[in-house]
Amino acid sequence: MSSHKNILTATTRLAAVRSRSSAATRSAARVPLLHSRLYSKPTPKTVLWQRSTVRQTAPTSSLLSVSVTCRRNYVSSKDEETPEGLRYTEEHEWLALEDGNLAVIGITAYASKALGDVVYVELPTVGASVVAGEPIGAVESVKSASDIYSPVSGEIIEVNEQLDKKPGLVNAEPYRRGWICKILIKDTNELESMMDNNGYETFIASS
Amino acid sequence: MKSLGARHALASYRASVLHLFRHGSTIGTTSPSTFSVRRQLISSTLSKRKKLYDLEIYVSQSPSPYFNLSFEDYLFKQFPVYRSESTSSTELAKKVLLLYTNHRSVIIGRNQNPWRETNVQSLRANNIPIIRRKSGGGTVFHDEGNANYSVMMPSNAFDRDEHALLLCRALNPVLSQRREQTVLSVNERHDIVDQDARKVSGSAYKLQRGKAYHHGTMLLNSELEVLSKLLHHSPDGGLEEVDGPGVQSVRSPVSNIGISNAKFTDVVIHAFEEAYTSVSNNTLKIRYVDEGSITKEEAPEINKRIEELQSWEWTFGSTPKFVHRFSMADSTPAVSFTVEGGIITDLESDLPEFAENKDTIVGIPYRGAEVASRIGCKLWKQRLLRSI
């Protein structure tokens, strides 16, 4: 996924440079051809093909705006920085309650940005029992192995196997598809000591 | 979203600008600029601006990679956890520097696949241990011509390039005295490279609650031909494929810097002392350690870690789930093993010698001798013994 992003970024930048430098040489004859390609269904492969052929013909500003929009839709996260309704720890983990005692755990957008592109997530074992504050896994990014700590005590019910093939989900959607594991909480009193979104925002602003 | 390269470049640029700011060009006082410049030229004002630490230096005299990595892990465990509210302005935060040199070994990153990164059998045949470390990153080759450094710091002081830059600044004057004009710098992958962009040092990091470490290699007089042969996994002439998650190494051309181990140790200790301690404090704590000089309290913890590093479960068994595919000479698929936690969980093959022995093979550890002993066909026995 990250290599795909790099291709998108590189070609967008190249298109920007070329459009600036070759603005004078754009010919009207080429424009209708480009438009017909633009209206074809944009699957990722098609989008790349469009952009790679565009490099040989001078790109128009309309194509540039299309390529920027495509990139934004494919890669962007619609997540807020610190969503409401979740609880947070000082180790930059978030917790969401699902069905009573079942909690979903992940790392915050702040942490995933600070870590850089995640290349591997070491997930805990299903069925393992965890204690609050103990490490339950790790995230690797930019040659750094960073431990993840469990905010609560309980048993690991499920882990996000999608992260095996797509560790980049932790960066792209830290609160949605980038969740790490689900824990069955033993003692809900532990949730009291966690911060809410305002508390967490104050914490990261002060550190 | 910037690409990885751009983000690193920006981070290194920021770090170098910050560094210049901290130690050089501007003095952030309200005095007029001419007065500030004069002060800078006259006195060692810089020493008043740098961030001071309670620096502890350890130099290992053991060549055992197991001991050295275990001792490093033990030091990290002992390193205090710094929470943001606990750092008082009067007490200095701690910083630990450990220097060690290992005999010939291959060290893989925490989340790597040894079957993909190295030729496991050829390392075994050459009696070279494979060791999985606790930090991230790629695969490196250690020998007596390679020196390792490890710096431990509070997590709020964590910086990927700070110490690499410090090493470059310390080594460049030493290297410029020689005939070859070797100039070291840090690239966007946080490696130290020479003027021809050849890698002389790789880095890896580990972050925990409140603390972090950065450790790296330094090629002084390493046997580079041996390195390239061992780290080049030539999978049976292209007839083998390892498929699965995990961190893959990025290959780089390498080069030695050609100074002695003793000189390197000297230069690094001096550089750290100058950067992180005040001029007036002459009591620099350097402790020389090896297996014989660790205390009775330290011994059980270190030995526990040595055992873990030597265990098959940690080195091979903790590889992320993968599929190892073997093909025939004409590239048709022959057999593929699915390995999870170092144990074979599935086998797919149309060949009779594998299909009929499937029940005995599934469930055993992924070790060449064990798999080969369950196959009748001699050719396959040899091939598996070479590759697993």
Average pLDDT over residues B280-300: 86
CA distance to partner chain B, nearest, from residue A146 (Å): 4
| pLDDT of res. B269 | 95
DSSP class per residue in A66-96: HHHHHHHHHH-----SS-TT-EE-TTSEEEE
Task: Kindly list the residues from chain B whose CB atom is less than 8 angstroms away from the CB atom of residue A146.
Answer: 206-208
| pLDDT of res. B355 | 86
Do B127 and B269 have their domain in common? yes
| pLDDT of res. B257 | 92
Q: Which of B288, B311, B334 is the last residue of a domain?
A: B311
Amino acid found at B357: N
Do B115 and B221 have their domain in common? yes
Query: Is pLDDT at B224 greater than 70 in this prediction?
Result: yes
Domain assignment present for B233 = yes
- Residue B107: both structure tokens together: 């060290």
Do B201 and B282 have their domain in common? yes
Task: Kindly list the residues from chain A whose CB atom is less than 8 angstroms away from the CB atom of residue B133.
Answer: none
Average pLDDT over residues B158-168: 93
Lowest mean pLDDT among A17-31, B64-78, B257-271, B333-347: A17-31
The alpha carbon of B264 is separated from its chain's Cα centroid by a whole number of angstroms, namely: 18
Do B215 and B275 have their domain in common? yes
Average pLDDT over residues B318-342: 89
Query: Is pLDDT at B30 greater than 60 in this prediction?
Result: no
In B, residues 318-347, which contact A (CB 8 Å cutoff)?
Answer: 320-321
> What pTM does this model have?
0.76
Average pLDDT over residues A127-139: 92
User: Beta strand B105-108 with B130-132: parallel, antiparallel or unpaired?
Assistant: parallel
Query: Is pLDDT at A65 greater than 80 in this prediction?
Result: no
Average pLDDT over residues A109-117: 91
CA distance to partner chain B, nearest, from residue A27 (Å): 32
Domain assignment present for B358 = yes
Q: Are A140 and A170 in contact (CB under 8 A)?
A: no
ipTM above 0.85, yes or no: no
Q: Are B139 and B106 in contact (CB under 8 A)?
A: yes
Across chain B, what does the average pLDDT equal?
84
Do B14 and B65 have their domain in common? no
CA distance to partner chain B, nearest, from residue A52 (Å): 19
Lowest mean pLDDT among A11-25, A117-131, B235-249, B310-324: A11-25
Of the candidates B110, B190, B245, which has its C-beta nearest A145's C-beta?
Answer: B110
Rounded distance, CA B113 to CA B102, Å? Answer: 22
Do B266 and B348 have their domain in common? no
Question: Is B114's Cβ below 8 Å from some Cβ in A?
Answer: no
Question: Is A126's Cβ below 8 Å from some Cβ in B?
Answer: no
pLDDT band at B26 (very low <50, low <70, confident <90, very high): very low
Domain assignment present for B330 = yes
| pLDDT of res. A152 | 92
pLDDT band at B22 (very low <50, low <70, confident <90, very high): low
Across chain A, what does the average pLDDT equal?
73
Do B88 and B237 have their domain in common? yes
Question: pLDDT tens, A77-106?
Answer: 445 678 888 999 988 999 999 888 899 999
Query: Is pLDDT at B194 greater than 80 in this prediction?
Result: yes
Lowest mean pLDDT among A29-33, A169-173, A203-207: A29-33
Do B332 and B188 have their domain in common? no
- Lay out the sheet containing B322-327: strands in order across: B240-243, B322-327, B333-340, B343-349
Q: Are A6 and B4 in contact (CB under 8 A)?
A: yes
Question: pLDDT tens, A176-195?
Answer: 999 999 999 988 888 888 99
Q: How many CB atoms lie within 10 A of CB B259?
A: 19
DSSP run (H or E) holding B7: helix B4-23
- Residue A181: both structure tokens together: 């594991």
Query: Is pLDDT at A18 greater than 80 in this prediction?
Result: no
Domain assignment present for B72 = yes
Do B206 and B355 have their domain in common? no
Do B187 and B151 have their domain in common? yes
Q: How far is CA A128 from CA A93, A102, A156, B328, in A?
A: 19, 15, 6, 41
Task: Identify how many contiguous H helices and E strands chain A contains and give both numbers.
Answer: 8, 9
| pLDDT of res. B328 | 85
Find where tokens 């710098």 sit.
B185
Amino acid found at B264: F
Give the number of domains in chain B.
3
Query: Is pLDDT at B119 greater than 90 in this prediction?
Result: no
Question: Is A114's Cβ below 8 Å from some Cβ in B?
Answer: no
Domain that holds residue B89: 46-311
Average pLDDT over residues B132-148: 93
Most confident of B25-34, B105-114, B329-338, B375-384: B105-114
Q: Work out the end-to-end distance of chain B between its first and last CA atoms, rounded to an integer number of angstroms.
A: 40
Q: Which residue has the higher pLDDT, B291 or B21?
A: B291
Phi and psi for A31 in degrees, rounded to 5?
-60, -45
Rounded distance, CA B387 to CA B375, Å? Answer: 15
Asked if A138's CB is within 8 angstroms of B109's CB, the reply is no
| pLDDT of res. B387 | 81
pLDDT band at B36 (very low <50, low <70, confident <90, very high): very low
Q: How far is CA A67 from CA A40, A59, B231, in A?
A: 14, 10, 40
Question: pLDDT tens, B291-329?
Answer: 999 999 999 999 999 999 999 999 999 998 899 998 888
Task: Kindly list the residues from chain B whose CB atom is less than 8 angstroms away from the CB atom of residue A142.
Answer: 4, 8, 136, 160, 190, 205
Domain assignment present for B217 = yes
Do B283 and B182 have their domain in common? yes
Question: Is A79's Cβ below 8 Å from some Cβ in B?
Answer: no
Domain assignment present for B156 = yes
Domain assignment present for B38 = no
Which residues make Cβ contacts (< 8 Å) with residue A163, sequence separation at least 6?
A: A121, A123, A169, A170, A178, A180
Do B72 and B140 have their domain in common? yes
The alpha carbon of B9 is separated from its chain's Cα centroid by a whole number of angstroms, namely: 21
Rounded distance, CA A100 to CA B55, Å? Answer: 49
Residue B164: give its domain's CATH number: 3.30.930.10
Domain assignment present for B36 = no
| pLDDT of res. B218 | 96
pLDDT band at A140 (very low <50, low <70, confident <90, very high): very high
Query: Is pLDDT at B272 greater than 90 in this prediction?
Result: yes
CA distance to partner chain A, nearest, from residue B12 (Å): 13
CA distance to partner chain B, nearest, from residue A151 (Å): 13
3-state SS, residue B374? coil
